[in-house]
Amino acid sequence: MLSFYSRRDLNFILNDLLNADQLCQFNRYAEHDSATFTEVLNTAEKLAGELFYPHAAKSDANPPVFDNGRAVLIPEIKQAVDAFCENGFIAASFGPEHGGLGLPEVIAQAAAAIFMTANLPSTAYGTLTIGAGRLIESFGSEQQQQRYLLPMIEGRFFGTMCLSETHAGSSLTDIRTRAELQDDGSYRLFGSKMWISTGEHDMSENIIHMVLAKLPDAPPGVKGISMFLVPRRCLNEAGEADSRNDVVLAGLNHKMGYHGSVNTVLNFGDNGGAYAELIGEPNKGLFYMFQMMNEARISVGLSAAALSVAGYQAACSYAGERRQGRHPDSKDPAEPMVPIIEHADVKRMLLQAKSYAEGGLALCLYAARLMDDARVLEGAAAERAFAILDLLTPIVKSWPSEFGLRANDLAIQVHGGYGYTKDYPVERLYRDNRLNSIHEGAKGIHGIDLLGRKVLQDRGQVLGLLLEDITVTIDEVRKDMSAQQLHEYADDLASACETVSTTSKTLLSGVISTGLRTSMANSTIYLDMLGHVVVAWIWLRQAHIALGKLTAGVPPADQNFLNAKLGACRYFYIYELPMVKTQCVLLSRLDETCLKADRQWFRE
Amino acid sequence: MLSFYSRRDLNFILNDLLNADQLCQFNRYAEHDSATFTEVLNTAEKLAGELFYPHAAKSDANPPVFDNGRAVLIPEIKQAVDAFCENGFIAASFGPEHGGLGLPEVIAQAAAAIFMTANLPSTAYGTLTIGAGRLIESFGSEQQQQRYLLPMIEGRFFGTMCLSETHAGSSLTDIRTRAELQDDGSYRLFGSKMWISTGEHDMSENIIHMVLAKLPDAPPGVKGISMFLVPRRCLNEAGEADSRNDVVLAGLNHKMGYHGSVNTVLNFGDNGGAYAELIGEPNKGLFYMFQMMNEARISVGLSAAALSVAGYQAACSYAGERRQGRHPDSKDPAEPMVPIIEHADVKRMLLQAKSYAEGGLALCLYAARLMDDARVLEGAAAERAFAILDLLTPIVKSWPSEFGLRANDLAIQVHGGYGYTKDYPVERLYRDNRLNSIHEGAKGIHGIDLLGRKVLQDRGQVLGLLLEDITVTIDEVRKDMSAQQLHEYADDLASACETVSTTSKTLLSGVISTGLRTSMANSTIYLDMLGHVVVAWIWLRQAHIALGKLTAGVPPADQNFLNAKLGACRYFYIYELPMVKTQCVLLSRLDETCLKADRQWFRE
């Protein structure tokens, strides 16, 4: 088994927690079966191990170089990405009607997670192409699907998202890029886009940029944003990439981490205007983008979880080998030093990291399963799945970005001085992961999204559905007399749900009594808090399954794995969940300490 | 004012919180006065701004290069370090009897903090020389002081600490470096030392390595460790650096950050043995080293606090300039975007960072003041100051390393995508600071030191003294009727002290009832917890002083600063201190989740 992830854990999440095979009962996924899924994951593991993992440190040490308008990358990235495409990992999540494999999202994301644990930056070329392709699949014309999407699914064209500008990162309302209609129905596009991942390279025949811009007569704000497709090379009649479009690499961003994924500033239209095609209808660009953004956000959460898994795996491996010190009650220097995994504090760090890493991974794949449910279920059931997914999206994006990062931090700490060096992967994994709380909406935005748009605006209705689902688990555990050791956690979780409910009502009343700004002032804390409750739920489900299997009897080889699930669950309930109450006390105060802080305070 | 630190805050801490001037009333510091102190800080600020700050990013981008047994550094480092020495910043903290300036520790450390905020890695050359010199000052022979210490104080020789070996970082018991007595009374030393900061460079006439090693007949373990002085170049009769000693640069460590401070592997004695002189008596090396280590640990805490101050200052400056988004209740795109400092969540991040950064800085300088108290006071008062300093040392080392680092993390977050790039200092400051929880004893060691050696072993007596001091503040605040707005914090702090006391007793009883390992299993959490209580105390003291000044009346220019102190104190009491109770509940459970975790759990 490769050491950057645990296949056993992935299988447990997919098979035992999420019942992925069950999806094959639905028409949409009827052509697949358990064997296909295994084969997909086997292939991902093989490619990840052979082509992604080996160059992760090298591409970190050799970031892309700007050379005369080109971005030069180490060659191993292309080899890896080519194999990713050739083996159908872009096609995986597109429907067969577009030449895709039509895999369930939960399997496609699980496969993506394997690549991400091995080498996230090199995986980004594929995942961004999937995201861009999804927009064309959902909103492009038939001709656009034919000319652009097909070669993307085939891995010949890659894709990017071009949203931000230097002055408008989080605030898309304020973008200035503009597009003008031409006589032939195409557009000329002018503007500069910032933070464009995989925006320039020579790895594919073409790069298809999905660009947000404004039409001359557009209404102000977000209602005046349209989406355009801007190819790096314009296509000829035969659909082949031909002459260079007016898209120029203006510079590279030099980042803390994520080096292998080239991050660019792109200038559009400096030489007369970039050829652009409108996607869908005018002024609906942000609406379209948000369809994809929700997927992208889950992908960010998955990236963060994957990096934390990689860090956790490295820490386990190091802690089992490195010998240092003795137990507090045995200081005889004649005794051999113990492996550091024997020290209680190292075990604490590993349990904490495990609870974050595996909890985050399970959370993200649960979200992918909800995407599948929203597709295969019908009527109210589909709507319900979609509503819960929509509520959870800011948590799925942010929780692994925050706590998975802490797992990476712990992985450094477990390694001691070695963890601070480039001889071990853990400091790189940390630096790669630090981006995830920033891109696709900085964390603060997701707090506002969760509390403001998802909880307060619908008066807690969807939150109520989530709490219902959590209560189902609580009841199942409580009714299971062979699971008595979990009953205390069920009680803790029930109590936490009660607190969430009361606190949310207080914040809702606060909107009327003290105003929206006050209720929203601590939305980031609400985000962390609800994230912990959801992950506690996921841990209880995992523990309940693990205990059931242990009770039923499993081979000795599986016992450690299942006992470890119980241990991590116990850790999470004893060390982590109690914070929820502390945070809810704060939230219920409708505290204005931060809101009312005078900006002049920060000028000294 | 330069933007990497706040002189106003430093003055507030020194003058208002710590009454540094008062030290001039004692004989030891009688030759100094307030004007000298100001002059020292002015000089530090000038040099830091002109020679340290400007090359911080450059030395990060250009780490030392190993070239044929030499370490090649960018030339700006030498210019800065030369000025540091020439202006007496090494001499500052040595006694006049050794050619030093004999400044109070609190002033010397405050000056060091200024350099550290500007450029920590370049400051390390000076601070390590001070540490090595302190060992010779305290334990060296008169001849050693004459030949080695004097040129160090003059800035001609630099110094290092050589403790760790590749297989023995935290566990000094297990070092293998050995030394053999020669006929002339000198020693030949053999071994390899790891993680040696500033271990090789061409910036000084000589480098004096303070090396831990074992004599052939030494008893096993820590009681068999001796300390040796090993010069890079042996001295001739005239005391000049002459022929190269048998000390070879075996390699450089390539680190996540702290690039400007060259970190080395040194081989001693590969060619017949390195010339070495014994310091003090045989087998007392670790005892000697720990005298210095306590200072070094305070210096690590100060480094961490300084880096967090630099990050916080950068974040304040960016947040005041960067415009992005609008308030939650005003989304009209026709309105201009607001500076992000207007957003409640950004203010929250800034208040949190401020409470960590300024709280940590004040904590470290308070420790320096305790060092001075231990020197100038007499009898029981001196012993009391020393005992409290000894208790606090693991907190002073670890709290800013943990929470100052979080302030650096928040500084990145405030900057959004820009914070993740090398165009802004905040990601570098984060990387530099990440080391501080690792070196001079990894965090877990300090938890064990605090709970095991400082609290349980003396049955909480010194902890009782600390709580007494905290209670003095609580009583002062409660008695001050013009400080009613602080009474709730005094109550919170009193309650936290009560909880600390009860919890510590529970842990003490636990040693008997369930054993040492159980009581010690969560010592890192005890460390964080008690750190928060101590910093809450320091914030209450700052707030009380600030309120007193505001009540007495100050010029408008000072009001923002003082109100900000009140705001940060409020933040700390409402958002941070409540965690203490949650942690104490956990500690009081004598929970064995981590202790009893099976190492096999982490093999999957």
Helix (H, G, I), strand (E, B) or coil at A565: helix
Asked whether the predicted pLDDT for residue A70 surpasses 70, the reply is yes
User: For residue B315, what is the nearest residue in chain A, using CA coordinates?
Assistant: A602
Distance CA B13, CA B362 (A): 6
Q: What is the 3-state secondary structure (H, E, C) of A51-88?
A: HHHHHHHHHHHCCCEEECCEEECCHHHHHHHHHHHHCC
What are B70's strand-pairing partners? B67
DSSP conformation class of A339: B
Q: Which of B45, B165, B358, B440 is catalytic?
A: B440
Owner of token pair 């980004």: A124
Distance CA A371, CA B370 (A): 60
Distance CA B567, CA B576 (A): 13
The alpha-helical segments, DSSP class H, found in A322-378 are 344-376
- pLDDT interval class at A169 (50, 70, 90): confident
* Partner-chain residue, chosen from A8, A320, A416, that has the shortest CB–CB distance to B169: A416
**Structure token pair of residue B314:** 């950068």
DSSP conformation class of A552: H
Would the CB atoms of B593 and A579 count as touching at under 8 Å? no
Phi, psi angle pair for B218, to nearest 5°: -70, 145
Distance CA A382, CA A375 (A): 7
8 A C-beta contact, residue A162 and residue A226: no
Question: Is A137 an annotated catalytic residue?
Answer: no
**Structure token pair of residue A54:** 């080996």
Would the CB atoms of B170 and A571 count as touching at under 8 Å? no
How much is the pLDDT for B1? 42
The stretch A445-474 carries a mean pLDDT of: 97
Min distance A573 CA to chain B CA atoms (Å): 11
Task: State the DSSP H helix or E strand holding residue B293, giving kind and residue range, or none if neither.
Answer: helix B285-321
Asked whether the predicted pLDDT for residue A271 surpasses 90, the reply is yes
Owner of token pair 């001037």: B21
| pLDDT under 50: residue ranges of chain B | 1
Distance CA A98, CA A542 (A): 36
Distance CA B329, CA A523 (A): 14
Instruction: Report chain B's C-alpha Rg in angstroms.
Output: 25
8 A C-beta contact, residue B563 and residue B550: yes
Between helices A344-376 and A285-321, what is the axis angle to 10°? 150
Closest residue by Cα to residue A162 from A117, A208, A210, A94: A210
Interface test with B, best of A432, A587, A601, A603 (most B CBs within 10 A): A601
DSSP conformation class of A264: E
How much is the pLDDT for A305? 98
Would the CB atoms of A438 and B419 count as touching at under 8 Å? yes
Distance CA B447, CA B451 (A): 6
Distance CA B446, CA B444 (A): 5
Task: Please report the ipTM that was assigned to this predicted complex.
Answer: 0.97
User: For residue A444, what is the nearest residue in chain B, using CA coordinates?
Assistant: B345
Closest residue by Cα to residue B518 from B602, B442, B594: B594
Distance CA B370, CA A12 (A): 55
- pLDDT interval class at A99 (50, 70, 90): confident
8 A C-beta contact, residue B404 and residue B35: no
- Contacting residues of A for B600, CB less than 8 Å apart: 560, 564
* Partner-chain residue, chosen from B345, B437, B522, that has the shortest CB–CB distance to A523: B345
Min distance A188 CA to chain B CA atoms (Å): 25
Would the CB atoms of B348 and A319 count as touching at under 8 Å? no
Min distance A50 CA to chain B CA atoms (Å): 21
- pLDDT interval class at A1 (50, 70, 90): very low
How much is the pLDDT for B604? 64
**Structure token pair of residue B490:** 């005094």
Would the CB atoms of A435 and B412 count as touching at under 8 Å? no
DSSP conformation class of A594: T
Min distance B555 CA to chain A CA atoms (Å): 15
Instruction: Report chain A's C-alpha Rg in angstroms.
Output: 25
User: For residue A563, what is the nearest residue in chain B, using CA coordinates?
Assistant: B601
Max alpha carbon distance in chain A (Å)? Answer: 87
Write the pLDDT tens digit of every residue in A10-25.
999 999 999 999 999 9
Helix (H, G, I), strand (E, B) or coil at B569: helix
Would the CB atoms of B602 and A316 count as touching at under 8 Å? yes
Would the CB atoms of B438 and A422 count as touching at under 8 Å? no
Q: What residues contact residue A301 under an 8 Å CB cut-off, 6+ apart?
A: A360, A363, A364, A367, A396, A397, A398, A399, A400, A401, A436
What are A247's strand-pairing partners? A268
Amino acid making up residue B579: M
pTM across the whole model? 0.98
Min distance A91 CA to chain B CA atoms (Å): 31
Would the CB atoms of B560 and A586 count as touching at under 8 Å? no
> DSSP string of A388-414?
HHHHHHHHHHHHIIIIIHHHHHHHHHH
Provide the strand spans (E) within A147-186: 157-162, 178-181
Pick from A207-211, A412-416, A553-557, B464-468: least confident:
A553-557
Write the pLDDT tens digit of every residue in B496-518.
999 999 999 999 999 999 999 99
Write the pLDDT tens digit of every residue in B352-370.
999 999 999 999 999 999 9
**Structure token pair of residue B463:** 């902890």
Distance CA B112, CA B298 (A): 12
How much is the pLDDT for A291? 83
Closest residue by Cα to residue B174 from B210, B209, B218: B218
Tell me how crowded residue B101 is: count the other CB atoms within 10 A of its CB.
20
* Partner-chain residue, chosen from A434, A567, A597, that has the shortest CB–CB distance to B420: A434
Tell me how crowded residue A483 is: count the other CB atoms within 10 A of its CB.
19
Would the CB atoms of A448 and B582 count as touching at under 8 Å? no
- Contacting residues of A for B162, CB less than 8 Å apart: none
* Partner-chain residue, chosen from A343, A442, A598, that has the shortest CB–CB distance to B560: A598
First to last CA, chain A: 55
Task: State the DSSP H helix or E strand holding residue A500, giving kind and residue range, or none if neither.
Answer: helix A487-513
